[in-house]
């Protein structure tokens, strides 16, 4: 494990407030009762458009999980109340890595606000194609931290943190490779009993901020039947990026068969 990773070695089964900081149980804070102390927080993260939402959604389909539908880097206090009221054993929330989201340094110390970290990566041709389809111009992509240089830095971090305790690594394409056993592995590593019904994607969450077109766009996607979309978005990946992608050692270290996705 690299010396730069300051990840705590023991899980923290503590209560937490709106900011994610541990808080003691007290009479003035009745929400943080004994049940709450046993809930496991699962943070799903990764580069934008790599599958973080669908992973959060599938985990949230489990009957023992309370799902936070909006993006957040800490579990909201409202979710603590709701999850406790529903007798959930786990809470899942997600925040991608980008300029206004969560940073790599935050994820190196993720156990300050989550017991489990789920990291996902997707091949760069589909990832960048999906981003360019969504945002269009290069300036908007660079301003939001969704550019190729940021994706390549994420690849380096994804490799760096492999093998760390309580970190689950997922490769989008392997999630859908028959017989789709990586979903079962994911549930085992976050401490949930496997039930193949979670893949039916029948429990649809209502987004409170549905007027946001980006949120609505994403919600429409994940309410569709679970399906492998590998190769679907690569048509929108600019030709000018392809040589840079194919020449990246960081990407090739994860995708040995990278040219197959081009």
Q: Does residue 256 sit in the same domain as residue 166?
A: no
Q: Does residue 253 sit in the same domain as residue 139?
A: yes
Check: CB of residue 170 under 8 Å from CB of residue 182. Answer: yes
Q: How many CB atoms lie within 10 A of CB 86?
A: 11
CATH code, 50: 3.40.50.300
Lowest-confidence region among 43-52, 93-102, 174-183: 93-102
pTM greater than the 0.85 cutoff: no
Check: CB of residue 92 under 8 Å from CB of residue 42. Answer: yes
Write the pLDDT tens digit of every residue in 148-187: 999 999 999 999 998 899 999 999 999 999 888 999 999 9
Q: Does residue 146 sit in the same domain as residue 180?
A: no
Q: Does residue 40 sit in the same domain as residue 71?
A: yes
In whole angstroms, how far apart are CA 71 and each of 52, 74, 192, 256? 10, 9, 22, 32
> What's the confidence (pLDDT) of residue 18?
38
Q: What is the rounded average pLDDT of the residues 82-108?
A: 88
Question: What value, to the nearest 5°, has the Cα angle with vertex 87 and ends 84 and 89?
Answer: 90
> What's the confidence (pLDDT) of residue 224?
63
Q: Does residue 142 sit in the same domain as residue 54?
A: no
Residue 151 host element (H or E)? helix 148-160
> Given a cut of 70, is residue 59 above it in pLDDT?
yes
185, 184, 216, 218: which is closest to 198 by C-alpha?
Answer: 184
Residue 230 host element (H or E)? none
Say if 216 falls within a structural domain.
Answer: no
Q: Does residue 72 sit in the same domain as residue 38?
A: yes
- Chain-centroid distance of CA 86 in Å reads 23
Helices 148-160/239-246 angle, 10° precision: 30
Give the chain's domain count.
2
The range of the structural domain enclosing residue 142 comes to 123-161+231-262
Q: Does residue 36 sit in the same domain as residue 145?
A: no
Say if 196 falls within a structural domain.
Answer: yes
């Amino acid at each position: 494990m690299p010396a730069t990773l300051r990840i705590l070695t023991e899980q923290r089964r503590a209560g937490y407030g709106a900011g994610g900081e541990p808080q003691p149980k007290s009479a003035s804070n009745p929400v943080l009762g004994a049940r709450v102390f046993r809930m496991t927080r699962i943070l799903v993260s990764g580069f934008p458009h790599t599958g973080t939402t669908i992973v959060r959604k599938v985990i949230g389909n489990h009957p023992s999980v309370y799902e936070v539908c909006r993006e957040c880097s800490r579990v909201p206090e409202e979710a603590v109340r709701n999850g406790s009221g529903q007798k959930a054993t786990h809470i899942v929330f997600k925040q991608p890595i980008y300029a206004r989201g969560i940073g790599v340094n935050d994820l190196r110390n993720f156990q300050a606000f989550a017991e489990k970290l789920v990291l996902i990566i997707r091949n760069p041709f589909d990832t960048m194609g999906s981003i360019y389809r969504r945002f269009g111009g290069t300036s908007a992509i660079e301003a939001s931290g969704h550019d190729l240089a940021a994706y390549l830095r994420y690849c380096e971090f994804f490799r760096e943190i492999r093998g760390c305790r309580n970190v689950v690594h997922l490769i989008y394409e392997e999630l859908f490779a028959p017989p789709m056993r990586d979903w079962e592995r994911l549930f085992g590593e976050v401490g949930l009993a496997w039930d193949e019904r979670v893949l039916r994607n029948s429990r649809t969450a209502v987004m409170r901020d549905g007027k946001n077109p980006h949120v609505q766009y994403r919600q429409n996607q994940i309410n569709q039947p679970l399906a492998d979309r590998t190769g679907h978005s690569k048509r929108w990946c600019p030709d000018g990026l392809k040589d840079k992608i194919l020449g990246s050692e960081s990407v090739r270290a994860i995708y040995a068969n990278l040219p197959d996705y081009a």
